Structure 1
Amino acid sequence: MQKASIPACLAAVTLTLSLAACSFPGVYRIDVQQGNIIDQEDLGELNPTMTRADVHELLGTPITVSSFNPDREHYLYTFQEDGGDIRKQRVTIIYEEGQYLRHEAKLLEETPAN
């Protein structure tokens, strides 16, 4: 081999191996969870005597408060396992005059983080 072709071959091999590593099977992907973890037990503790501050103490700070209706707060939770599908849960807390009135919930069957 000529001296000039050795560095070119090394560069080509390095580039090929680098690109192959980008899609290497079996690479670890982390589980990603975001939001408030709320389960049925937490929702069971809600009662009409609770103020907004009491609800925040129990469930945490809501992810969003409705711009159009400040008497609604939304608690969202998402979980993505190993780079797969994203699983979502949503809890909406409804207040009347600053007191807990009711909630609407679409919970995951099992919260992976617990």
Structure 2
Amino acid sequence: MQKIRFKLLIPVFTLLLTITGCSFPGVYKINIQQGNIITQDMLDQLKPGMNKRQVHFVLGNPLVDNVFDETHENYAYTYQYAGGKTKQQLITVYFEDNKYTHFTGELLDDNPAY
């Protein structure tokens, strides 16, 4: 009789452990930001004719150097809300004869990182 109870308890305990494992509330997810944070104030400081060193002083160095084409640099940024949707931003800075001419791209509308 006791052997039967013991054999019956093993599947019951296994089932209980499985159920409690499945009911775990989840993993805490954080906001993830990657890349160059560029603000409107930074872009307003750029003036045509600045050399690359001056542009890098204002915006910082791009994450990836463009070794094949020195006429532009890309400042990429992504922001993911706690495992949810990812927002992307790409600012491209253009140079002619190593002097800043203009930039293209738009900043993210809302970004809690800045």
SS in 2 for 1:95: strand
2:10 — aligned with what? Answer: 7
**Distance apart, 1:64 and its partner CA:** 3.2
Alignment of 1:109 with 2:109, yes or no, is yes
**Rg comparison, structure with higher value:** 2
User: Please, what TM-score do these two structures have when normalized by structure 1?
Assistant: 0.82
Identity %: 32
Bigger shift: 44-53 or 65-74?
A: 65-74
Deviations 1:60-112 (A, max 9, x none): 12133446522111111111112221111110011111111111122111232
Q: Distance in 2 between matches of 1:68 and 1:2?
A: 75
| CA displacement 1:23-50 (0-9 Å, x = unmatched) | x37x532111111110111001011232
Deviating beyond 6 angstroms after TM superposition, the runs of 4 or more aligned structure 1 residues are none
Q: Distance in 1 between matches of 2:53 and 2:13?
A: 64
- Structure 1: tracts of 5 or more residues without a match: none
Contact kept, 8 Å, 1:72 with 1:94, in 2: the verdict is yes
C-alpha distance in 2 between matches for 1:20 and 1:108: 37
**In angstroms, what is the RMSD of aligned CA positions?**
2.0
Preserved CA contact (<8 Å) 1:89 1:108: yes
Aligned to 1:71: 71
Letter in 1 for 2:62: P
DSSP 3-state at the match of 1:111: coil
2:93 is equivalent to residue 93 of structure 1? yes
Q: Does 1:16 align with 2:14?
A: no
